[in-house]
Homo-oligomer: A and B are copies of this chain.
Amino acid sequence: MTQLASMGGDTAADNEGGSNGPTVAPTPYDLGTPEGVLGAEELRLVDAWWRAANYLAVGQIYLMANPLLREPLQAEHVKPRLLGHFGTVPGLNLAYVHANRAIKARDLNAVFVAGPGHGGPGPNACAWLEGTYSELYSHIGRDERGMRAFFHQFSFPGGVPSHCAPETPGSFHEGGELGYSLLHAYGAALDSPELTVFCVVGDGEAETGPLAGSWHAAKFIDPARDGAVLPILALNEYKIANPTLLARIPEAELLELMRGYGYDPHVVAGDDPGTVHQLYAETLETCLDAIAEIQRRARSTDEVPGPDDAGPRWPMIIMRTPKGWTCPPQVDGQQVEGTFRAHQVPLPAARTDGTHRAVLEQWLRSYRPEELFDDEGRPVQELLDLPPTGTRRMSDNPVANGGALLRDLRLPDWRDYGVDVPNPGTTAHEATKVLGTWLRDVTRDNPTSFLTMAPDELASNRLQDILEVTGRRWQAQEGEFDERLDRQGRVIEVLSEHLCEGLLEGYLLSGRHGAFTCYEAFIHIVDSMFNQHAKWLQASAQVPWRRPIASLNYLLSSHVWRQDHNGFTHQDPGFLDVVLNKDPSIVRIYLPPDANTLLSTFDHCLRSRHYVNVVVAGKQPQFDYLSVEDAGLHCARGAGIWDWASSHDDAGTLPDVVLGAAGEIPTLEVLAAAAILRERLPDLRVRVVNVVDLMRLLPEDEHPHGLSDRDFDTLFTATQPVIFAFHGYPWLVHRLTYRRANHSGIHVRGYKERGTTTTPFDMVMLNDLDRFHLVMDVIDRVPSLGASAAGLRQEMADARLRARTYTRENGVDDPAVAGWTWPF
C-alpha cells in the first residue's frame, strides 16, 4: 500500500530541508532618528504603513485564522499549503508607501506596476489598507473578520491567485510571465499627460530580452503630451535560486548601463529601514522634481527640440534592499533574509513544525500589529488617514481598470473608403493600402486615443497613408534623411515585436485603442505575450468590477504566400493555431479576401471589445471581388456562397462538389480552379464558398460565432465532397470542422511547411494549393466524373509542370498563369 505523500505543487514544503541549525526570528527594529526629508512623525507613519503592509503580506501567505494573533498561534491557524512569494514584497511595499506620500504631496494621478508581480501579497495588502479591497469585495471588510477572509482567500482554492492578477485592485499588469512591466507602464503613459506610472522592475525580470530592450521605450515618450514612467529597479540580488546579473556587476557599470539606456539613475541602498525611508523619500522627490521639470520645459510653448536633441534624460531609481527584508534571518541554520531562500515562503514548515510556527509568530509580532490595527482589526486612524483618497489611491485609479475610461472611437464610415467593384475581377487593389486610407482618418479623428504599432513594417505592409496625417513617434535625435519622424506621432515603429505588443497592451489596458501590424511569420515572436494577454482578458471578464477594454487588433500581412522573396524563414502561418488554443470567448480570426472585406472587417474589429482579433490580409495588388455592399453583407455573415463564381444555382439540387476558401491567396486559387471547372466540365455542379470569419466553421456551442449544424450544412452540404483551400496549416480546418456531419468529406489544402525563396505561384504549387491541383483534387473526389475527366487531370498536371519550368527558367511566374486574366 503506497500513498503519494503530496499532490502539492511547488510549495515551500518541497524545499529541500536544510541542516538542523537554528531558526531565528527577526526582532522588531528600531526606526532611530535618521535625518532627512521626512520629519520624525512622517517617518514613523510611513514606516508604520510599511510594517502594516508587510504584516498583511505575511498573513496572506500563512494564516487562515487568528489574523491579529489574538491568541497564541496554533497549527490550525496556519494554511495547510503555503504558497506565495515573500522575497520581493517588502521592496514593493516600500515603493508603494513612498509613492503614496508623493501622490498626496503633489496631487499626482498615479498607478503602480509591480514587475515582480509574484509578490501579489504586497499590492493586495496595500489595496486592503487603502480600503479599495473592501469596496470591491464586500466580504473582505477592513476589520478583523475581513482580514481573516482576506488572508484565507489568498492562494486558496476558490480564492485569489498568488500573483498580481485581474482580481488585484489597481493592477493592470499580470504578475505571471516576466518581461513586460516597463512596456505596460510606458503604454499606459502614452497620451496620458497627467499620469505618473511607478514601475517596479525586478532584477530577475531585467535579465529577460523584452525587458532589456524595453528600457529604450522612453524614447517614444513625448514629455509634452504623454505621462511619465518612473522605473524602480528592485535590486534584491536574487532570483529563485541564483543571483541576478545586474546585482553582480560593479555599481559603476550598472550606472553606465542605465545612463546608456538614456536614464539618470539614482541609487537607494541599505537594509536599515529608517535610513532607507529617508533616502528613498529624498530620492523620490529628486526624481519627481526632475520629471516635473522635464514636462514643464516640454510643455512651455517656446522650446522646440532641435534635430540634435536626444530627448529628455528621465530619472530612474535603483533600489538595492535585501530580498525578504524583515523576514527571519536564519531558518534551520541557513541564511534566508537577503538570499534566494527568501524568494517564496521563508518558513516552509510553519504548520507542522513547532519551531517554525513559533518563529512565524515572532516574525508577525515583529511588525507590532497592536500599533497598526485597532480592536476591531481596522487600521488605526493615522494609517487610514495616510494614503490618498478616492481615485487618487493607486488601487482605485481607473487607469488600472481601463475599460472604465474607454470611449468609443470616431470611426469614419468604411464604406466611403471602399473601392468600386462593378464586377468581380474587373479591378485590383492592394488591400492593406486601401485600409491605410481609412486608418489614416481613424488616426486623424482620434488624435489621443488610437495608435498603430509596427516593427519597422508600416510602409512594407502598405499602411503608409497613415503618415499623411501624422509621423512616426520619435524623441531621439533626427538625421538628415530620416522620414516622417514626429515627436508626437501616432505611429510607433521599433524593430521589436515585443515592444510593439507590450506598448499596445499597456495602451489598451489603460483604456485606449490601437492596432499592431506585423509580418505574419514574426508575430510568433510574441506568442507568449498574446497568450498572457488572452488569459488576462478571460480572467478579467470574470471579475465583476473590471470593465471590458478595447480589443487587441493584429493586422498580419506579408503573409506566408507572399514571402516568396524572403524565403522559408518568413513563411509561417502558425500563429492562428496558437490563437485558437485560447478561450473562444476571447479570440477571433478573420481572413478577408479583398480590399472591401478588409475594410469591413477592421471596422468591426475596432468597434469590438475585450477580444483578440487576428486579421490576415494581403498587401499586393489583388482582384477585388465584392462591392462595398456585398462586402458588408459577406462579413456580417462571416461565410457565404459566392453564386457568381459557382456553376450551380442551388435550385433544389446539391452541388457535386464544394470549393471552400479562406484567405486571400486560397480565394484566388479557388476562383481560378472554379473557372477552369466551369469551362472544362460545364456539367459539374461546383459551389464556391468563401469564409472570412474563421470561427464560423466551429460548432455554435464551441464559439459565439459558430454556425449551427444546419447553417454549416447549408453551405458545405452534409454529404458532398468539399475541397477547402486554407491560408494556414491545413489541419486547423479539420480541427474546426471536426464535429460536422461532413467532416470526413472535407479535404483541406494549405501550407504544409514547404517553402524557399521562389515566386508566389511556385509557393502555392509547392504546397499543392494551386488552381491546377485543386482541379485535380476535385476530379479525384468526384467519382462520377470517371474517365471523362482523366484528360483534364493530365492537363492540369502538365500545366503545373509547365508553370514550374517557366518559373525556373525565367525567375518569374508565367503571366498566363499567375497574372491571370479574369475568366468572367
Contacts and interface: CB of A to CB of B under 8 A. Distances in A.
A373 interface: no
A494 B204 CA distance: 9
B566 A249 contact: no
A532 B755 CA distance: 13
A212 interface: yes
Interface in A521-552: 521-522, 524-525, 527-528, 531-532, 535, 538-539
Contacts of A759: 7-9, 81, 157
A820 B10 contact: no
Interface string A463-502: 0100000001010111101110100000001111111000
A240 B460 contact: yes
B582 A568 contact: no
A581 B577 contact: yes
Nearest to A337: B481
Contacts of A569: 163, 165, 174-177, 532, 535
Interface string A293-336: 00000000000000000100000000000000000000000010
A572 interface: yes
Nearest to A753: B583
Contact of A493 (B80, B241, B258, B570): B241
A479 B734 contact: no
Given A158-B808, A209-B496, A253-B310, A163 B83 contact: no
A574 B566 contact: no
A105 interface: no
Contact of A157 (B7, B176, B458, B758): B758
A260 B259 contact: yes
B620 A7 contact: yes
Given A10-B460, A757-B155, A811-B80, A566 B176 contact: yes
A363 interface: no
Interface string A571-601: 0101001100111000000000000000000
Contacts of A458: 241
A112 interface: no
Contact of A578 (B207, B527, B563, B758): B527
B819 A7 contact: yes
B495 A204 contact: yes
Given A155-B757, A458-B241, A734-B738, A7 B260 contact: no
A157 B539 CA distance: 48
Given A5-B621, A479-B237, A819-B4, A565 B155 contact: yes
Contacts of A380: none
A425 B812 contact: no
Nearest to A728: B581
A10 B582 contact: no
Contacts of A207: 213, 216, 494-496, 499
A638 B215 CA distance: 47
Q: Which of A5, A581, A744 has the most CB of B within 10 A?
A: A581
Nearest to A498: B209
Nearest to A257: B260
Interface in A721-771: 729, 731, 734-735, 738, 744, 753, 756-762
A257 B248 contact: no
A210 interface: yes
Given A243-B485, A524-B531, A568 B581 contact: no
B241 A459 contact: yes
A214 interface: yes
A143 interface: no
Given A456-B241, A493-B242, A566-B176, A811 B257 contact: no
A495 B757 contact: no
B10 A757 contact: no
A42 B659 CA distance: 67
Copies of the polypeptide in the assembly: 2
A452 to B, nearest CB: 14
A26 interface: no
Contacts of A460: 10, 240-241
A701 to B, nearest CB: 13
A642 interface: no
A336 B1 CA distance: 79
Interface string A249-292: 11001111111111000000000000000000000000000000
Interface string A1-44: 11111111111001010000000000000000000000000000
A325 to B, nearest CB: 14
B209 A157 contact: no
A567 B120 CA distance: 12
Report the contact-size class of chain A (Cβ under 8 Å from the partner).
35 or more
Interface string A794-824: 0000000000000110111101001111100
A417 interface: no
A813 B239 CA distance: 29
A211 interface: yes
Given A456-B242, A495-B208, A734-B735, A9 B562 contact: yes
A443 interface: no
Nearest to A527: B527
Given A261-B257, A338-B481, A161 B568 contact: yes
A136 interface: no
A437 interface: no
A213 B208 contact: yes
B496 A9 contact: no
Contacts of A744: 744
A565 B240 contact: no
A477 B240 contact: no
A160 interface: yes
Contact of A531 (B259, B572, B822): B572
A790 interface: no
Given A209-B214, A456-B239, A582-B753, A249 B570 contact: no
A247 B457 contact: no
B310 A250 contact: yes
Contacts of A242: 456, 472, 482, 493, 495
A622 B568 CA distance: 42
Nearest to A3: B819
A410 to B, nearest CB: 28
A79 interface: yes
Given A4-B621, A539-B568, A578-B574, A456 B260 contact: no
Contact of A156 (B574, B811, B820): B811
Given A9-B563, A245-B494, 4 more contacts: A10-B563, A242-B495, A247-B479, A335-B481
Report the 8 A-B pairs with minimum CB-CB distance, sorted nearest first. Answer: A176-B569, A257-B260, A9-B565, A209-B209, A209-B213, A212-B213, A256-B260, A524-B528
27 contacts: A2-B426, A2-B427, A3-B815, A3-B821, A4-B622, A6-B621, A7-B760, A8-B565, A79-B811, A80-B811, A81-B565, A118-B566, A155-B565, A157-B808, A176-B567, A176-B570, A177-B522, A178-B495, A204-B495, A208-B213, A212-B216, A241-B483, A257-B257, A257-B260, A531-B572, A535-B568, A583-B753
